[in-house]
A and B are shown apart, each in its own frame.
Chain A
Amino acid sequence: MGVSVPGEVTKEGQPAPPIRSFVDALRSALAPVTGALRPLEVDTRLLGMVAALAVIWIAFDIISGGTFLSARNLWNLSVQSASIGIMATGMVLIIVSRNIDLSVGSMLGFLGYSMAMLQAVWIPQSLGLGFEQPFTWIVTLLVGIVLGAAIGGLQGFIVAFGGVPSFIVTLGGLLIWRGLIFRYAQGQTIAPLDTTFQMLGGGTVGTRVGALGEWPSWALGAVICVAIVLLQVAARRRRRRYGFPVRPMWAEVLVGTVTCGVVLGTVWVANSYPLPPNVAEQVAAARGIPVPPGGIPTGVAFPVVIMLVVTLVVTFLATRRRFGRYVYAIGGNPDAAALAGINVRRTIMLTFALMGSLAAVSAAVQTARLDAAVTNLGVQNELDVISAAVIGGTSFAGGIGTVPGAILGAVVMQSLRSGMVLLLVDSPTQDIVVGIVLVAAVGLDTLFRRRVS
């Protein structure tokens, strides 16, 4: 880096750069807070992001006259964030291992197109099996995921074993996969899709709703809460066994309560969004019950359920499996990782394969939501996904980044976008705001981190 970096050691006698003194002042002002948080062992940067999100939400809510924080808008927001969030989890691992994937938007388009063709043309017409088969959606999804892993893995293979920089390989991928769509789709929109498949997008078809409904949503929340508590207990035991210090009990309880509170709060919001009256009438008629006075709760949308499952799985891979440890080790210091006996190439290739399969899951969500595959599906999604990961605290220097942070980053991005649509901000201004937020978030984060180290 040939640029002068503010915050680095200044020569004796020179006044400190203004940015540095500002950060210092901010840090000393926040010192009591960070000190009090230490026993909680919570990532302070994650907390900063939550605070930023809260500010954004409250500001939008006030300006929009209470529409932004309505259950309905939050429900929409959760669905709109899901597709970017799903891919951001994979992007974290890619960036942590000091690579980049610019092809995710084009891969998403290509995979979405292939899955649409499979369910709308190949299975029903070419194979003559007919429309609306019960197996169509799952076959389509599985084929998409396998295909995604294959093309992602191919790119990863060229990066890891061919030694071509990932920026170049995936830049090529960005052009190739998009080009392939144009080539074999000839600009045609593929629609309509299988109605069961459409549920993956959180939409409504007749009386079928792409959401869990009231009680299953609560059950999901309860299961996640139990899992959180069990994980805490297990982690505490493990630390005791190896003689590591444990959190004080009050801190443990506080962290558990807050995390559970967030999960159950989300379920509560999703359940306070009643089905639209038209849909509710049909659903009630189908169940043979009158419409309840408060309406029928919608519950957590399937795209959000998918995002939660993906988050859990990728977090588990990243923190509890050898694969994840390797990824972080490689990102921290690739040479040391290789000398320590880690199969660096294989690990890198696997991160790209994982990214490809996550692009397939997102493609399923996006095409299902639109009930169509269009040729510009996923255009510029790579920018949103990378921004989400980076706003969520993933560092381009490698070795640093968390999956929940990336999800939070995706929610921040989508909150800004859909909030601005609600406030009638035109799209060029939206881009400007998102751009500024991206640079500011990473800039502040870099300053703080440099002071810490």
Chain B
Amino acid sequence: MRRQLAVLATGFTLIVSACGGGAGGGSSPTTAASSSPTAAAAACTVGVSWNNYQEERWAKWDEPAIKAAIAAGGGKYVSNDAKSSAETQASNVDNLISQGAKVLIILAQDGTAIKPSVAKAIQNGVPVIAYDRLIEDPKALYITFDNVLVGKLEAQAVFAAKPKGTYAIIKGNKADANADFLRSGMEQVIGAAVKAGDIKIPAGAELYTDNWDPSKAQTEMEQILTANANKIDAVLSENDGMAGGVIAALRAQGLAGKVPVSGQDGDKAALNRVALGEQTVDVWKDARLLGKTAGDAAMQLCKNSDPSKVSGTATFKTPGGNSLSSILLTPNPITQANLNDVLSAGWITKADLCQGVAAGKVAACG
């Protein structure tokens, strides 16, 4: 039953990606003509395996940037979507290779479950880029925003607002290594204060959230507030979606805007909450930069499949004890003070950013 469904899903994605390829084909002659020096790479097909489109970004920002970088290098783009299923993703990876992919970019649903597929691809001479999320394979190229740094920046903004008090920590999906990277970055900021007893994390106030689900985060926050009689002074939420759930729970207790809350991803709704003063910080990782870096790296891997020869790489020690080549990009924490950064980058319109913000309250909104 499950396998049948998976086959159905892959079949569907094949059709979809075939359509996408057809649409993209119209624009390729121009790029091919303008980039004759890279004629060797012209035949290079880059396969991208997405884990899902649930979060506000992959389809909107990452994919176009990757496509553009690959087109600029004269390559061809194919992709499929695993719809949050590690099992589907494994067959999707095989699929991309049989579609002729010479380089793979994988946004892993589960960094461990994908390992056999990745190992197989690398054995077959197809280099793999672990996109945004870690894959524990020493031969993969890991390209991401520095997630430990993201966690650190989230915690710094909240810690600056509430250096003492009771903290709740809403973490993401347990199977996603990022949840723990973010948490370790937070530890760098609050660890000393927790040891000194200035910051308390009550039992049950730090938990993982299945699939980073905002509704689950809301219920979790309601129960944390109930169990602690509202005595929660700050919330470290690992991403924007869950921050939305947390803030909805806080608002019901009249605490929104009074309790600092963190987030990341640069969701429109979250940036609006920053402008409204309900969310303290939104660590913004310009997905277009990530996509472009990965696309460029893929084109370099077409010529030389050794990840350590890609420009800008450094060695990264993984929690699993591997060391692999990586490119870590630097994120930008957005608070009320620097909202102009997202406006001037064209990431969000002023109308969306400032909806409901009273005039004269926030500089960026006028």
Contact = CB atoms under 8 A, between A and B. Distances in A.
Main secondary structure of the interface of B (DSSP, over half): helix
| Residue among B57, B207, B245, B252 with max Cβ neighbours from chain A (10 Å) | B252
B55 A187 contact: yes
Contacts, number: 120
A204 B251 contact: yes
Contact of A189 (B204, B252, B267): B267
Contacts of B208: 426-427
A375 interface: yes
Contacts of B251: 203-205, 371
B355 A131 contact: yes
A131 B219 CA distance: 28
A66 B118 CA distance: 51
Nearest to A195: B356
B244 A191 contact: yes
A67 B224 CA distance: 11
A417 B216 CA distance: 11
A422 B227 contact: yes
Interface in B233-254: 240-241, 244-245, 248, 251-254
A278 B254 contact: yes
B53 A418 contact: no
A316 B240 CA distance: 43
B99 interface: no
A278 B226 contact: no
A101 to B, nearest CB: 18
Contacts of A277: 254
B244 A279 contact: no
Given A189-B244, A278-B253, A371-B248, A70 B54 contact: no
Contacts of B110: none
A189 B268 contact: yes
Contact of A278 (B220, B255, B356): B255
Contacts of A188: 56, 60, 268
B266 to A, nearest CB: 11
Given A131-B355, A376-B211, A424-B203, A371 B244 contact: yes
A87 to B, nearest CB: 15
A34 interface: no
Interface stretch (A72-80, A158-166, A352-360): A72-80
A182 to B, nearest CB: 5
B211 to A, nearest CB: 7
A300 interface: no
A189 to B, nearest CB: 5
A370 B248 contact: yes
A372 interface: yes
B94 interface: no
Contacts of A374: 54, 214-215, 241, 244
Interface residues of A, number: 45
A155 interface: no
Interface in B37-94: 53-60
A343 interface: no
A67 B214 contact: no
Contact of B355 (A67, A192, A375): A192
Contact of A375 (B54, B204, B226, B272): B54
Contact of A276 (B214, B254, B267): B254
B248 A203 contact: yes
A28 interface: no
B202 to A, nearest CB: 10
A44 interface: no
Contacts of B317: none
Interface in B263-313: 267-269, 272
B13 to A, nearest CB: 11
Contacts of A336: none
Contacts of A10: none
Interface string A56-69: 00000000100100
A116 to B, nearest CB: 10
A187 B226 contact: no
A14 interface: no
A368 to B, nearest CB: 10
| Residue among B57, B223, B267 with max Cβ neighbours from chain A (10 Å) | B223
A370 B220 contact: no
B210 interface: yes
Contacts of A377: 215
Given A76-B222, A282-B254, A424 B204 contact: yes
B230 interface: yes
A197 B147 CA distance: 37
B262 interface: no
A80 B252 contact: no
Given A187-B53, A191-B244, A370 B215 contact: yes
A422 B258 CA distance: 24
A283 to B, nearest CB: 9
A276 B57 CA distance: 36
Contacts of B207: 424, 426
Interface in A388-433: 417-418, 421-422, 424, 426-427
A103 B258 CA distance: 40
Contact of B252 (A64, A203, A366, A421): A203
A191 B268 CA distance: 8
Contact of B53 (A182, A203, A371, A424): A182
A98 interface: no
Nearest to A276: B253
B56 A187 contact: yes
A70 B230 CA distance: 14
A188 B218 CA distance: 19
A182 B53 CA distance: 7
B213 interface: yes
Contact of A372 (B57, B214, B230, B254): B214
Interface in B95-124: none
A96 to B, nearest CB: 26
Contacts of B203: 424
Interface in B332-355: 351, 355
Contacts of A125: 351
Nearest to B58: A187
B272 A376 contact: no
A427 B56 contact: no
A403 B271 CA distance: 43
B215 A366 contact: yes
Interface in B6-64: 53-60
Interface of B: 53-60, 203-204, 207-208, 210-211, 213-216, 218-220, 222-223, 226-227, 230, 240-241, 244-245, 248, 251-255, 258, 267-269, 272, 351, 355-356
21 contacts: A80-B222, A182-B53, A186-B60, A187-B56, A187-B57, A187-B58, A189-B214, A190-B269, A191-B269, A204-B254, A276-B230, A276-B252, A370-B218, A370-B245, A372-B244, A374-B215, A374-B244, A376-B213, A418-B223, A426-B208, A427-B210
Interface of A: 64, 67, 70, 72-73, 76, 80, 125, 131, 182, 186-192, 202-205, 275-280, 282, 366, 369-372, 374-377, 379, 417-418, 421-422, 424, 426-427
Given A125-B351, A188-B268, A374-B241, 18 more contacts: A70-B226, A76-B222, A182-B53, A186-B53, A189-B269, A190-B269, A191-B268, A204-B254, A278-B254, A369-B218, A371-B251, A379-B213, A417-B219, A421-B219, A422-B223, A422-B226, A424-B207, A427-B208
